[in-house]
Amino acid sequence: MAARSVCRAGSAAGRALLWGPRPSAALLNWTKKRGAASYAQTLQNIPETQVTTLENGLRVASEESNQPTCTVGVWIEAGSRYEDTKTNGAGFFMEHLAFKGTKKRPGSAFEKEVESLGAHLNGYTSREQTAFYIKAFSKDMPKAVELLSDLVQNCELENSQIEKERGVILQELKEMDSNLTDVTFDYLHATAYQGTALAHTVEGTTENIKKLTRADLASYVDTHFKAPRMVLAAAGGISHRELVDAAKQHFTGTSFAYKEGSVPSLPRCRFTGSEIRARDDALPLAHIALAVEGPGWADPDNVVLNVANAIIGRYDRTFGGGKVRVWGAQQGEPGAFSCHCLKLKMKWLTASPYLQNQSSRLAALAVEHNLCHSFEPFNTSYSDTGLFGFHFVCDPLSIDDMMFCAQGEWMRLCTSATDSEVTRAKNYLRNAMVAQLDGTTRVCENIGNHLLHYGRRIPLEEWDARISAVDARMVRDVCSKYIYDKCPAVAAVGPIEQLLDYNRIRGGMYWVRL
């Protein structure tokens, strides 16, 4: 009644739209075509990414737009994968020191100069790359380039500052141990890539952080902070010509030569189906991650696997959602199945039109049977390999049921993914893709990542074409290629007594069909 009262207060046109005759099919088709054209035009009207390579090998890339702000950053091909057992953590240590002054701007002078511009400075280190970026007013772009060049070329490795940051990092490592999701993924890398560089954590070990010297950090910078390994990217209200001029002025002195035999190479990392369990019954919830080996960055199978992950969906209890109706349930049947009953009816449930407010089948099962607190699929790619899997958080007594349902969803994708859910997943990916246009920082990061991983900026129009080419058969074939009857890597933390033996989990990676 309240909604109708509001409508009565509106215009006659509003009332006619709400309660008038239904629009004709021709009008609906015209509206649909108009919306599709707008989407296509949006992709086509995205500014071109301009790329210039300086004489020392530094790549300068930008996307111009009419915005009052800009984001400028340096993306470097350096990370924990390039570290060995003794130097693991050096990149993360350098990230901390980079913000603590340079030879030209010692101590807090660097931070004060950034703040005087009203700018925001940030950075991060991952397994294969390091980034530093500044968000500032467009008119301050040349100054931002100067600050970034000073940061990567003249970092002050002062002994007292090193010791101060050493204590800060050790405290951070203690705090990181309380983030069980991050701990679980570090364990997953440690077992999946055991004995290789990808098994290293980004932050390094406590023992390494205590032992790293100024000479170790200086060697890391001298080896990896080279012009050919860098991308200077910018997005926003800037001019590419001005960006190139600023880069020539401030980055020309960046070293590009290596000593004989010192060129860093990417070590090969093999995937091993295995498990690691860190049982702690004092914790309230279990964190479990399961993954198979996925493709590298440039592999076209990534698009199909991302569609598959969109079909699986993600769930968190904080999302809410309505009650799920199970078709064919007998009158008086309890709402929560026992473990045995759930497994007997799993195949029937996944084939039934049982959804009301959850488009994800796995999310619907999680809601109906209280299987988990949250779950999320992931597709983590590196240069030549990757991890494709899912992570969930659940109560100790729900581990078996949740693992069974999640693996069952994988098997369903390998054998019976449907056109309708593929279409829904593709629309979800398109929405996520267009969301990359929001803000200069996301665009700038996208440019830097693409040039490091693909050697070029892949336009959204090309991504859209790749997504459009995916169909149900491709999803089934690619999922079978990477998932079906493959040995997974498993990492589990917390009260995990109910987690089945690895051989039982391995048995869930295929279906025996008669």
3-state secondary structure of 239: coil
Hey, what are 483's tokens? 């998932």
Determine the 3-state secondary structure of 64 from DSSP: strand
Active site residue 497: no
- Residue 452 sits at φ, ψ, to 5 deg, of -75, -40
DSSP 396-429: GGGHHHHHHHHHHHHHHHHHH--HHHHHHHHHHH
Three-state SS for 186-235 is HHHHHHHCCCCHHHCCCCCCHHHHHHCCHHHHHHHHHHHCCHHHEEEEEE
On whether the CB atoms of residues 264 and 219 are closer than 8 A, the answer is no
346/496 Cα distance (integer angstroms): 23
What is the DSSP track for 273-325? Answer: --EEEEE-TTSSSEEEEEEEEE--TT-THHHHHHHHHHHH--EEGGG---PPP
Exposed, middle or buried by CB within 10 Å (0-12, 13-18, 19+), for 338? exposed
Q: Which of 63, 95, 275, 409 is catalytic?
A: 95
For the stretch 394-414, what's the b/e string if a residue is b when 16 or more beta carbons lie within 10 angstroms of its beta carbon?
bbbebbbbbbbbbbbbbbbbb
Pair of tokens at residue 482: 């990477």
- Residues sharing a CB contact under 8 Å with residue 52, sequence separation 6 or more, in sequence order: 59, 60, 61, 240, 244
For residue 409, give the nearest of 358, 362, 451, 448 by alpha carbon: 362
Q: Which residue's structure tokens are 């007997």?
A: 344
Round to whole Å and give the CA distance between 326 and 368.
9
Identify any residues that bridge with 231 across adjacent strands, giving them in sequence order: 59, 75
CA dihedral 192, 195, 196, 200 (to 10 degrees): 80
Query: What residue type is 500 in one-letter code?
Result: L
Which residues are catalytically annotated?
A: 95
